[in-house]
Chains A and B, each alone.
Chain A
Amino acid sequence: MAQALPAALPEELGRPTPAVRPWSVVAGALSRSGGNFFIWAVLIFLVAFPVGAFLLLAFTPRLFGQGASWFTLSAFSQALQGKAFVALWNSIWVSFAVCALDIVIGGGVAWLSMRTNIGGRRIWPGFMWGLLLVPSYLIAQGWQYLLEPKGVTYQLGLYSPLLYHSFFSPAGVVFVDALVNAPFSYLTISAALGGLGSQYEEAVRVHGGGRLATFRVVAPVLAPAVLASIAIVFAETMSDYGVASTLAFQSRFQMATYGIFESISQLPANFGVAAVLSILLLAAAAIPIGIQSRVTRGRSYAILSGRTRPATRYRLGRPARLALTSIAALFFLLALGAPAFGAFLGSFVQNLGVPDGAQHLTLNAYKEVFSGSIAYGHVVQEGATGLLAPVLLSAELSAITATLTAVIGLAIARLLAARRPGKWTKAGDLLLVGSIALPGIVLGAGYIFAFNLPFTSRVGLDLYETLPLLVMGYLATSIPTQSRIMVGQVAQVHGSLMEAARVHGARALSAWRSAYVPVVSRVLVLAWLITFTKTFFELPISQLLYPPGKETVSVAINSWLSNYHYDIGTAMTVIALLANFLVIALVLGAFRLLAPEGWRRMGGWRPVG
């Protein structure tokens, strides 16, 4: 049983070690705070630095060549006139409405599938994940295709002006945003519900409490999870540009992100005003965080222990079960069906809605996408490679981003899950959620300011318009959301699992790999998949940071759509979606086939029991 001797020689006991080698002090300090230090360095480099650079423009336009003065408040006076406050207020109340709706939707699906004998309870969680994987604009677009005059409902003779007009209204905005963000709510609440056990409910019932009393008792227990869900849903809704620029815009309902986009789109661009609006957006996103940290202060999320018994399920009566099952089925049919339908229909129907009898289903668009002759049927463009190159590039970038996000996000989630978070952890959390609340264009522009500096160019370090910087930008958008999602699950894993591995002889990396990663493997796989999809379809950062000549899928699709080739654009969207689903199926299949049985037993989305 020969074991490696420690490198350092033991000093004689009882005598203080006289001379300490400097390297050992450095190494010690690094390994002591090394993990945390590394994580904060990554966060500061990827998020704080570029976002800060952008926000600084609110005061010092001269810093990045955007104006003459080193300090001015003129951007504030400009930003705060006009409709800025209306837009901000709209964003805030819509976000809160979305939070409320999503607690009902996400919490409802979580409770029904984990705690009742509702039909299809094994598939609803999967559908929730599915919803997370659908790009938000597709959901808005799908509903538009369904409801608009001459749209699908019209063709079916079901067109309703009332439905159409209520869709193109703030209510429609809330509805679509709620569908888009419901999975976040589901994930955070179900994580808590999964570890709750049913002892609280049983305690209420043995003391004579009815269902209402049960709810009153269990709700506060779930409060941290509900608040966590509010924080993330609020920030996600605040930052949404897809719905703000389509549905909201056409409903003449201005939201804060649109104001930011508009100031940046001006000529000369007014980054100062955009920065001021971003600061307001950040301040708004801090509201739910503040509430959350106030309410959950000192409470531990770690409610999962070896003694937690699997929860018992409510037995719904036959009529209730039938009704709730139908409601769930209808909900997912609408939530997932509408965008899927819209995307497919848009790509097959040439000149959708032109009432000249020329409307017919056609596969032309697909043929063009695959053949590479995509200059609308007439001329084969020289050098055009069809969709293949962008798809492959996007797939590779997304895979890299997803892998790094899963690893770094997990590390951050572990920090955030600490029972007694320190000042820095709290600040980091605020930074994370704040960056979720900022639209992609702010991050993209911030990246140009921060990483396209003259002095770095002079030393030959040009990151801007390279693939690494694009990946960094992707990471900056994905890490905050993913680490926030993972916190709930990670908080339930007791730290002693890692300690036990170290104590029994595993080195740090090996302990991490053999005793921790498997326990969170499901969570990691899901984080990977979500990041992959979101990155695959990410537009604003791709547009600003992609290296010329290396189009990503989203840039290519946008390019076709903006040159009025909807059919090709939509066909590309469908193909990209299919490619995406293929990757999801492959990864999930691989996990099922290759992961050891024990791994697959670990938490994640499968309901208990």
Chain B
Amino acid sequence: MLIHNTEKTGAPKRAARALVAATGCATMVATIGATAGAGVAQAATTSTVPLVVYSAQGYDSTETTAFQKATGIPVELDDNSTGPLLTKIEAEKNNPKWGLLWVDGATAFASLDQQGLLMKGFEPNVSWNPLGQKAVPPDHSYIPTGLTMAGTLVYNSKTVSNPPTTWQALLGPKWNGEIGMNDPAVSGPTYPFVAGMMQHLGSVTAGEKYYTALANNGLHVYLTNGDTLAALEAGLIKLALIQSSAGIGATIKTHGVIKVKFLNPVAALPSAIGIDAKAPKAEQLEAEKFAEFVLSAQGQKLMQSGDPTGDSLYWPVVKGVNALPALPKLSTIPVENINPYTWGARENVVNTWFTNNVVE
């Protein structure tokens, strides 16, 4: 806008005036924006409330656009990484603005639930498959929408012909300095992997021992799935322990050069929808409608097509929907389910330990 002003200014003498004018315009735009924003909020209370969706899913805009079209409910989508979304929700505790949260990781939802931030007791009108039944929390504080795996082994088949087959094998000298994973303190989908390992090995201490050994074997820690995957693609590491959807997506993109392997066991990482306990009733009802829409046949189709080399690569939790063909059969995967409430409560302690002992 300022650029136009400067361009159109005819007489050189007027340049100063243009600057002043531009300032004025800027202030005006800001003011108009403020009033407009307030106007929308006000109008909303009288008719339909806009549903504010905080989501980190790759298919979220596909889904919200279709939902808005189907129901006429206006959706405001905050499409962001999981981290900033959770930060916002935590910082908004005083005066929540979000209506619905859609991210990966039951532990995150369990933690929000324990803080009393989630609306409990909503049971969507869907028929769960066995996977779904297992993922639904007892207090119905969040709604699972799909399943991926945390800590999936991803490797480059051109450089690794004999990938390790057990978790113990990763501690061997062969993989010294060749393994990378994400920092659970930053990457939401990584904590379930760490927690799953602890549950698998029987205790937090046993798990800590394992990760210490992994660190001693030259483990590289990156921020997120994307960074770890990039390190693998760049040849900085040979094995990456990341979320299954990212790994399988890479398989598709590289036409099978990058491969995934599920060591025994891998921790289940459900994606889920949580509804703001403090949202206006009308918005909560719309959020419920949205959850049901997502789990409907139409919604599932959109979830599977919205991000075909990323988040769409999930195992469905409702009956009658099959996973995309790129995904291996669920029965071949040794899935470990962790109790999100037990482990969600330990998240900070474990992550702090991880930061101080593995990252450093």
Note whether A and B contact each other (Cβ less than 8 A): yes
A: which residues have CB within 8 A of B?
64-66, 82-83, 86, 148-151, 245-246, 249-250, 252, 254, 261-262, 264-271, 351-356, 358, 375-376, 378-379, 381-384, 395-396, 399-400, 402-404, 407, 441, 445, 448-449, 452-454, 457, 460-468, 471, 509, 513-514, 517-518, 521, 524, 540, 543-544, 546-549, 551, 555, 558-559, 561-566, 583, 586-587, 590-591, 594-596, 599
Which of B199-207, B218-226, B281-289 interfaces with chain A? Answer: B218-226
Q: Determine the chain A residues whose CB is within 8 A of the CB of B61 once the complex forms.
A: 381-384
State A461–B95 Cα separation when bound (angstroms): 13
State A471–B56 Cα separation when bound (angstroms): 24
Q: B233's contact among A267, A354, A448, by CB below 8 Å, is which? A: A354
State A510–B27 Cα separation when bound (angstroms): 20
* Residues of chain B in range 77-111 having any CB-CB distance to chain A below 8 Å: 77-81, 83-84, 86-88, 90-95, 97, 107-108, 111
Contact A460 B38 (CB under 8 A): yes
Q: Determine the chain B residues whose CB is within 8 A of the CB of A521 once the complex forms.
A: 16
Contact B234 A548 (CB under 8 A): no
Q: Determine the chain A residues whose CB is within 8 A of the CB of B356 once the complex forms.
A: 82-83
Whether B62 is near chain A, meaning CB under 8 Å from some CB there, is yes
B: which residues have CB within 8 A of A?
1-3, 6-7, 9, 12-13, 15-17, 19-20, 22-23, 26-27, 29-31, 33-34, 37-38, 41-42, 52-54, 56, 58, 61-62, 65-66, 75-81, 83-84, 86-88, 90-95, 97, 107-108, 111-112, 115, 156, 158-159, 183, 185-186, 220-226, 229-230, 233-236, 246, 249-250, 253-255, 257-258, 305-311, 344, 347-348, 351-352, 355-356, 359-360
Per CB-CB distance, the 4 closest pairs between chain A and chain B, nearest first, are A269-B90, A548-B76, A383-B65, A150-B235
Contact A564 B86 (CB under 8 A): no
Query: For residue A514, which residue of chain B has the nearest CB?
Result: B16
Q: Determine the chain B residues whose CB is within 8 A of the CB of A246 once the complex forms.
A: 223
Q: Determine the chain B residues whose CB is within 8 A of the CB of A86 once the complex forms.
A: 360
State how many angstroms separate the Cβ of A569 from the closest Cβ of chain B. 9
Q: A566's contact among B54, B220, B226, B359, by CB below 8 Å, is which? A: B226
Contact A267 B16 (CB under 8 A): no
State how many angstroms separate the Cβ of A540 from the closest Cβ of chain B. 8
Contact B38 A461 (CB under 8 A): yes
Contact B81 A396 (CB under 8 A): no
Contact A468 B3 (CB under 8 A): no
Q: Determine the chain B residues whose CB is within 8 A of the CB of A587 once the complex forms.
A: 3, 6
Q: B76's contact among A382, A549, A590, by CB below 8 Å, is which? A: A549
Besides the contacts A454-B95, A549-B76, what 13 more A-B pairs have beta carbons closer than 8 Å? A246-B223, A250-B222, A262-B185, A267-B111, A378-B308, A379-B308, A462-B37, A467-B33, A467-B34, A467-B37, A543-B80, A562-B226, A566-B230
Say whether, besides A254-B359, A546-B78, A564 and B250 are in contact (CB < 8 Å).
Answer: yes
Q: A149's contact among B62, B77, B235, by CB below 8 Å, is which? A: B235
Say whether, besides A352-B234, A383-B65, A454-B95, A548 and B360 are in contact (CB < 8 Å).
Answer: no
Q: Determine the chain B residues whose CB is within 8 A of the CB of A468 once the complex forms.
A: 30-31, 33-34, 37
Say whether, besides A564-B250, A596-B13, A465 and B233 are in contact (CB < 8 Å).
Answer: no
Q: A267's contact among B76, B108, B307, by CB below 8 Å, is which? A: B108
State A356–B81 Cα separation when bound (angstroms): 31
Q: A453's contact among B37, B42, B95, B347, by CB below 8 Å, is which? A: B95
Contact A382 B308 (CB under 8 A): no
Say whether, besides A64-B94, A590-B7, A544 and B16 are in contact (CB < 8 Å).
Answer: no
Query: For residue A379, which residue of chain B has the nearest CB?
Result: B305
Q: Determine the chain B residues whose CB is within 8 A of the CB of A399 once the complex forms.
A: 1-3, 22, 26
Contact A559 B37 (CB under 8 A): no
Query: For residue A148, which residue of chain B has the nearest CB?
Result: B234
Contact B91 A271 (CB under 8 A): yes
State A249–B255 Cα separation when bound (angstroms): 31
State A465–B33 Cα separation when bound (angstroms): 11
State A531–B352 Cα separation when bound (angstroms): 36
State how many angstroms separate the Cβ of B78 from the closest Cβ of chain A. 4
Q: Determine the chain A residues whose CB is within 8 A of the CB of B107 once the complex forms.
A: 267
Q: A562's contact among B26, B81, B220, by CB below 8 Å, is which? A: B81
Contact A564 B255 (CB under 8 A): no
Q: Determine the chain B residues whose CB is within 8 A of the CB of A462 once the complex forms.
A: 37-38, 41, 97
Say whether, besides A151-B234, A353-B233, A561 and B226 are in contact (CB < 8 Å).
Answer: yes
Contact B236 A148 (CB under 8 A): yes
State how many angstroms separate the Cβ of B225 from the closest Cβ of chain A. 7
Say whether, besides A351-B254, A563-B58, A267 and B94 are in contact (CB < 8 Å).
Answer: no
Of the A-B pairs whose beta carbons lie under 8 Å apart in the complex, a sample of 16, sorted by A's number, is A64-B94, A65-B94, A265-B86, A353-B234, A355-B156, A383-B61, A400-B1, A404-B26, A449-B91, A467-B37, A468-B37, A524-B19, A546-B78, A563-B307, A566-B230, A586-B7
